Chains A and B, each alone.
Chain A
Amino acid sequence: MNQILIDRDYCKGCGLCIRACRQGVLAMGKERSKGDYLMPYAAAPEKCVGCGLCELFCPDVCIRVEKKEAGHA
């Protein structure tokens, strides 16, 4: 299963990663970032296909997908 890492220090909760994801992996959560923004989280990480669109769309370069080798999503 891929891991989605969101940096709590820099996330501003803009939600563009949620918009970018075509698989419905991400959703807005209840945890707050360091800047006191509501943060997204990987609600359905098993659905992640590792396309990296969330990484491309993040205006704060603070989301990263760590792809896991064996098997698949």
Chain B
Amino acid sequence: MNTSAEKYIRKEALPFIFCPGCGHGIVVNSFVRAIDELNIGENEMACVSGIGCSSWAPVYLKFDCLHTLHGRAIAQAEGLKTVQPDKRIVVFTGDGDCVGIGGNHLIHAARRNIDLTVIMMSNYIYGMTGGQKAPTTPFGASTKTSPLGNDEEPFELYPLVRAAGATFYARASVTHPVQLKNAIKKGMEHKGFSFIEVLSPCPTTAGRNIFSFRTPAEMYDWYEEQVVVLSRAVPEAPEGKIGLGILYEDNSRREFCEVLAERRKEAME
């Protein structure tokens, strides 16, 4: 185990439930590096998650863990955050958990600009239950509940979450773990609703159903071809590619807990 993992991973919960080659494992790996570099103390942060493969992440971390219900991670995180506003609250969730059943909580939490860091691991599918379609599944894709081809268009997450009010949006990919770690760090440092969309392949269900990859390595090669790390030289992704980077950051909006504190102060006078 690497040094960050030694510090922050709960050995008694191992092995990871993730399948061989699961992107979520790389997210956990990058996350422990990120918090190591930020020097997060054990009583400084709590991790909240919903239901799904991605939502197992907090169980493996040596921090207070709230493994909640499908779609409700953000709602529970809001309750926790408002009564402990000085603590860092990180939400680990998946595309189905966050944008499907949890969609309403997502857009309202973004609207409030409450200081949470949401790490949404997107694999275009409902992996834990065996490979059913998700709100991010591409049109026409074959899954266990769309064997004739998905009849819906997926969400465009960046416009959706930004329009809802999020003040930080980053897109990362497990094919670029250093950028992923940096996006996590920036998201955690941002005071306000921070959303990190992580492209995290599911070789087991999506790999086999939507695509036809036979190994994780094949699938990661394909993912690496789809993404482009954005920079000053490459500010936008070319047609057909997915841009990675801090897509949006706004530090001018009020944060929700700060507003609550103001109201409390006024009321108590």
Contacts and interface: CB of A to CB of B under 8 A. Distances in A.
B15 A16 contact: no
B15 A56 contact: no
A15 interface: yes
Max chain A Cβ within 10 angstroms of own Cβ: one of B1, B9, B16, B178? B1
Contacts of B2: 55, 61, 63-64
Contacts of B217: 14-16, 18-19
Nearest to A37: B20
B55 interface: no
Given A14-B216, A15-B217, A59 B30 contact: no
A61 to B, nearest CB: 4
B15 A59 contact: no
Interface in A1-54: 7, 9-10, 12-16, 18-19, 35, 37
Contact residues of A: prevailing secondary structure: loop
A17 to B, nearest CB: 10
Interface string B1-43: 1100100010000111011111111101110100000000000
A61 B30 contact: no
Given A12-B19, A19-B220, A64-B2, A59 B24 contact: yes
A58 B25 contact: yes
Contacts of A15: 21, 215-217
Nearest to A13: B20
B221 interface: yes
Interface residues of B, number: 28
B15 A14 contact: no
Nearest to B218: A19
Contacts of A13: 20
Contacts, number: 73
A61 B32 CA distance: 10
B201 to A, nearest CB: 10
Nearest to A56: B177
B45 to A, nearest CB: 19
A58 B29 contact: yes
Given A56-B177, A59-B22, A64-B1, A10 B14 contact: yes
Contacts of A62: 1
A19 B221 contact: yes
A56 B9 CA distance: 15
A10 B2 CA distance: 13
6 contacts: A10-B14, A12-B15, A14-B22, A14-B203, A59-B16, A60-B15
- List 7 A-B pairs, minimum CB-CB distance, nearest first: A59-B25, A14-B21, A12-B20, A14-B20, A61-B5, A56-B177, A19-B217
